[in-house]
Copies of this chain bind each other. A is one copy, B any other.
């Protein structure tokens, strides 16, 4: 009825239509919007309004589903971390039964989609910059990295059972660091080296860590 609008003394535009979604859908939408904001505009550009505009909801909704923007960023970190872990796990499963293949797959998957993604790095650096100031982020970081290293360590000792515990620990740390460093640099500046070169480098490092590197840097060497 026209009376309905006439009741208001000011002609205001009708409220935007919306569809009710379940809490999970909304939360996920907000998390994905946060990741996209972090990737595109960095931490500084990740505001409540920017996130909600991306998610296609009003800004009041963020507080409705999360404690605040900090809690949302935390949830985003957990989500992105879980997604990366899942991608690595999937790579391991697809590698077959040979633990050596599994290790190689686990390392090299970092240089393929969906992990090799500059947007993901932007999200990650945002989190790194929060680790020092936010204990919650620090706890999740320790958990994620600890898990990755533990997995590597297990694989290493499966492949070479006689490898000493401490040696396996340091090898896992080294491999993780190498992967991180390469991943960081290739995402920051993809012109320096290619993903294939990165995969070759981690494979070489892996074989060296296993003590099973047969070739030398002069592959077509005429030396005996």
A interface, CB within 8 angstroms of B: 41-45, 118, 121-122, 125-126, 128-133, 138, 141-142, 145-146, 149, 162-164, 167, 170-171, 173-174, 176-182, 184-185, 188-189, 192-193, 197, 200-201, 204-205, 208, 211, 216-218
Contacts and interface: CB of A to CB of B under 8 A. Distances in A.
21 contacts: A41-B133, A42-B129, A43-B129, A121-B132, A128-B128, A131-B189, A132-B188, A141-B188, A170-B197, A173-B185, A173-B193, A173-B197, A174-B182, A176-B185, A177-B177, A177-B180, A177-B185, A177-B201, A180-B180, A180-B185, A181-B182
A42 B178 contact: no
A176 B170 contact: no
A42 to B, nearest CB: 5
Nearest to A187: B132
Number of copies: 2
A218 B170 contact: no
A182 B177 contact: yes
Contact of A218 (B42, B132, B162, B218): B162
A122 B118 contact: no
